[in-house]
Each structure stands twice: as structure tokens, then as C-alpha cells.
């Protein structure tokens, strides 16, 4: 609203420098809550062997997001792409090893 009583339609967002900084306790609390949630999800899903992997992945994503908060939304997507590439490389190596071992046994 302008001084003369007319609406301007503009929305003023707070500047990043004006935002309140998080304390270390806030960060630890948020990280513990996320890791705890991931642990509960893995227990309910019956995947107890994946609890540690979930906790480590959650911690890495949160630390990277805290280091560069402006592009934090990209981090989970990048981790997903990283996981897909890792799986593809693993399957490719398994196929090559199976092919080489099958050839060796045929001799």
C-alpha cells in the first residue's frame, strides 16, 4: 500500500542479510529430528540394515544445504542422480564381470 491509499501489488521479501541466523542448537535439533524420522521410516519399512545409510545421507544433504542455502533445493535432486549413476555403473560392472567369468569357464 502506498502512502496515498492505493495498493501497489508488490510484495517485499526480507533480505537474506535481515534474516535471523540459526544457532548451533537449532541446527543439531533439526538434524536429529530428520535422522530420527528417517530411522523410524526404515524400521517401519523393515529395512534395518539401511538405517545407517539413511542417516549418513541425511546428514550429508543437510550439511551441503547449510553450506549453500541459496541452492539447497538442488541437493536432493543431485543425490538422486548420483545414486542412479552409481547403480548404473554397478550393474554395468556386474555385467562385464559375468561376461568375462562365463567366457573363462567355457574354455
Q: With a cut of 70, which residues of the chain have pLDDT below it?
A: 1-20
104 three-state secondary structure: helix
pLDDT at 94: 94
Distance between CA 76 and CA 60 in Å, rounded?
A: 10
The pTM of the whole model exceeds 0.85: no
- C-alpha dihedral over 95, 96, 97, 99, to 10 degrees? 80
Amino acid at each position: 500500500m502506498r502512502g496515498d491509499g492505493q495498493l501497489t501489488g508488490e510484495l517485499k521479501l526480507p533480505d537474506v542479510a535481515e534474516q535471523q541466523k540459526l544457532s548451533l542448537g537449532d541446527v543439531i535439533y533439526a538434524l536429529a529430528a530428520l535422522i530420527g524420522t528417517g530411522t523410524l521410516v526404515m524400521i517401519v519399512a523393515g529395512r534395518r540394515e539401511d538405517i545407517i545409510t539413511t542417516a549418513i545421507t541425511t546428514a550429508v544433504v543437510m550439511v551441503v544445504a547449510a553450506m549453500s542455502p541459496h541452492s539447497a533445493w538442488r541437493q536432493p535432486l543431485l543425490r538422486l542422480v548420483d545414486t542412479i549413476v552409481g547403480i548404473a555403473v554397478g550393474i554395468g560392472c556386474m555385467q562385464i564381470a559375468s561376461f568375462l567369468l562365463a567366457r573363462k569357464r567355457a574354455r
